[in-house]
Amino acid sequence: MVEQSAVSMVDEEGRQYHIALKEGELAQKIMFCGDPDRIEVGRPLFESIELETQRREFRTITGTYKGARMSLMSTGIGCDNTEIAVVECSEIVDSPTFIRVGSCGSLHESIRPGDLIISTGSIAYENTSTFFVPECFPAIADHTVVRKLIDSCKNLQLQHHVGLTATTSGFYGSQGRSHGKFSPFENFNIENLQKWGVLNFEMEASTLFRLAMISGARAGTICAAFNNRITDEIIKKEDKKRAELNTIKAAMEALVNL
């Protein structure tokens, strides 16, 4: 019987409150995809599946790929959900490696919809992670994970880019979007982000990187560009699933070699 607490919210079986998993059910090598539907995109890549669970937006598959045990978990949207996933996974797995397989918006004309972006680090335009570290704390991807993701993309001949990311706390106002009746009070200056070498907008990486850094885990992010904010293009419907699949393929290949 597991001792229960209002702090951890673990149930009597030792299952984590949100992800509904206990020790032994989650692999040491973990991929986070935001959209629960991406679980179905990644499912055919597994050689075998030993476990499937779902609670709320947290769907999980644990299985094997090329003989390596790994898990694919959906986390929903945003830094708050990423915080929950990282904290609860770290409670039941020793020394985890996390790779986010997500989507993003490109901030450079040369990065086309469907291209992949590997983050080396992120500017944190969010405050979920600052409940754990000060605002000045860096958000840096693990260099070994970055290197393996690059190698995977090269081996799979996937168009990819490597550089800095900007993580925001929302999709509309915090990424400078005016939408209907809603206009941001302060717009981001995308030209400055370009000048600083920032390649993309997304909504999870800085929290993932910071929490991994302070807990001793390894973490990386690879995202498919679903739009280009400079050219105002979006990915074609028929290309979206392939782009999602490519991020998962690249991550699985990287995890095999980590």
Task: Give the pTM.
Answer: 0.95
What was the pLDDT predicted at 17?
87
Interval 116-174: pLDDT, tens: 999 999 999 999 999 999 999 999 999 999 999 999 999 999 999 999 999 999 888 88
Interval 81-124: pLDDT, tens: 999 999 999 999 999 999 999 999 999 999 999 999 999 999 99
CB atoms within 10 A of CB 96: 21
Interval 200-245: pLDDT, tens: 999 999 999 999 999 999 999 999 999 999 999 999 999 999 999 9
pLDDT of residue 186 exceeding 80, the answer is no
pLDDT of residue 60 exceeding 80, the answer is yes
Can you tell me the distance from the alpha carbon of 103 to that of 68, in angstroms, rounded to the nearest whole number? 25
Q: To 5 degrees, how large is the angle CA 21–CA 23–CA 26?
A: 60
Fold of 29-256: Rossmann fold (3.40.50)
What was the pLDDT predicted at 11?
85
Q: pLDDT averaged over the chain? A: 95
Burial class of residue 137 (count of CB atoms within 10 Å of its CB; 0-12, 13-18, 19+): middle
Output helix, strand, coil percentages for the chain, rounded to the nearest 5: 30, 30, 40
